[in-house]
Amino acid sequence: MNNSLNTKTPVLSLVFFILLNSNSWSQITQDYLQFSQLDPFGSARIQAMGGAFHALGGGVSSLHFNPAASAVNINSKVDFGLTIGGRKTKSNFSGSQNSSKDNYFDFGHAGGVIVAEQINENSPWRKISFGFSMATLKNFDQSIAVSGNTDFGLSNYFSDRAQGTTLSELQLGSGETLGSAYAYLGNTLGRGAQLGLLAYQAYLINPVNEANNNINYVSAVNDLRRQNTFQELGGSMRQFNLNIATQYGDDLFLGLNINSHILRYTRSNIVSESSVAANSPLQGLTYRSFERTDGEGFSVQAGAIYTPGDHWRMSLSYDSPTWWQLTEESTESLSSSFIINQGLENYSMDPDVRNYYEPYRLRTPGQWNAGLAYVFGPQGLISASISHKDYSAGAFNNNGSEFFQSANAHVQRLYDQSISAKIGGEYRYGPWRLRAGYRMETQSLKDSGLDDNFGYSYGFGFYGGGWSIDAALVNTSLNSSTALYQEENRFTTNLTNQSFILSFGIDL
């Protein structure tokens, strides 16, 4: 871990594997799920049909679902679109319920396909197509409000993290500032020592004994506490792909995508506590933290579409795991207030230091997809697809560090295989298109007791002979279980999302 004091110039890191301990598994494995679980994405036509597009072509965005789809196109084309959405998040913590709302805007997709017809009439290879496309796979913008009573508060968490750090390391020496001590501990002892320093200086933890070599700590507050948390997430995950596809004979289409991914993810937390007991000296405490993750990734996709006759379409495709290279940075501060000798004492601990962490690698799981569609001539079509993803198959890697080995074991214990199914239809009347779709995905959390995730959508389109405009309204519901900062404090959330997608296409 690198630290900088009042500047963004990092100090040379000495160690990384001790920056976190088992108490942080819950947070990093939650980030893993955030980066593995995708939003509905693609053009308005695709999303209106529930994303059931693995066996179909006809649009640039379809190559994100099956790279063979670009060869199904008769003409070269470009398309692009935007998304406007609103989200409502309901939380439940210790029986207390809260809700929050958010709005977002995104240029959801853009790209083009060039189709080259057969050059040699005697060859079974009928055509070849080349494509480039961008899609927003996930928009992270979300706020979560959580409140409830707990007997495991921040001071308990900080005392757990401080275990093993000598008392002398948590005390400021002559002429030493909080910021310089915090930066030093981050570079030598890691995150647990940093949190212990803030908590000790804010009088939230006590040493078991006053010896300088003491390494055991207890919470200075043991009352039932009212805890309020506001978490704000931001950023996005985008995929850029280069596509090549071909048609063999009359019935078989084959394709390959080479994908590049870009991720930016931010999380801001404000956690405040006050004692429920009337005679408690604790009047309140507030912990603020900010974390940012940036990354680049790589993946490939391969797929085939088979058309046995004029009506049926069958497909099989594979999305490889995404191999990420990620970097992180964070800041934090802590304040507390106590009644001491009938007077109010305030303690503010802001080291004004930005932590930089060494890059690490993450592999998010791949996915198999199968699709089936039936085309009713010019009147329309119905399409279905099914996908399998094993959320327990991902892995962190940082040169064999013990922390990431433990985090990988935690991923395997926490997450499960998941099946998603999608179905959609399109009815055509002259230049008009009417569409509807439904999707569901089984829970990725083992033994969570949570409902499966689902969504429904509908939309319309107009084809003007060489150009098209499409619109869709998509509704989804996502259930999850999250730890505030440690497994003892878990809460459940239900995220409902409603988005409007508008797409434009032009034949070249």
**How far apart (Å, rounded) are the C-alpha atoms in residues 178 and 170?**
10
**How far apart (Å, rounded) are the C-alpha atoms in residues 353 and 332?**
8
pLDDT at 98: 93
265 contacts 233 by C-beta, under 8 angstroms:
yes
**How far apart (Å, rounded) are the C-alpha atoms in residues 308 and 318?**
21
pLDDT at 508: 86
The residue behind tokens 């008392």 is 167
pLDDT digits (tens, 9 = 90+) for 386-402: 999 999 999 998 677 77
The residue behind tokens 């503010």 is 348
* Length of the chain, in residues: 508
| pTM (two decimals) | 0.91
Closest by CA position to 263, among listed 6, 491, 34: 34
What CATH homologous superfamily does 2-507 map to?
Outer membrane protein transport protein (OMPP1/FadL/TodX) (2.40.160.60)
The residue behind tokens 């002559």 is 174
DSSP string, 123-148: SSEEEEEEEEEEEEEEE--EEEEEEE
pLDDT along the chain (508 residues), means of 10: 43 37 65 92 96 90 94 90 96 91 93 86 88 96 94 91 95 93 92 94 95 95 91 96 94 97 97 88 93 97 95 97 96 93 90 92 97 94 97 86 83 93 97 97 86 94 94 95 76 94 94
Number of neighbours of residue 151 by Cβ within 10 angstroms: 12
Closest by CA position to 140, among listed 295, 361, 318, 329: 295
Phi, psi at 269, each rounded to 5°:
-120, 135
**How far apart (Å, rounded) are the C-alpha atoms in residues 178 and 181?**
5
**How far apart (Å, rounded) are the C-alpha atoms in residues 366 and 320?**
5
pLDDT at 277: 82
pLDDT digits (tens, 9 = 90+) for 465-478: 889 999 999 999 99
Number of neighbours of residue 97 by Cβ within 10 angstroms: 14
DSSP string, 246-295: EEETTTEEEEEEEEEEEEEEEEEEEEEEEESSTT-SEEEEEEEEEEEEEE
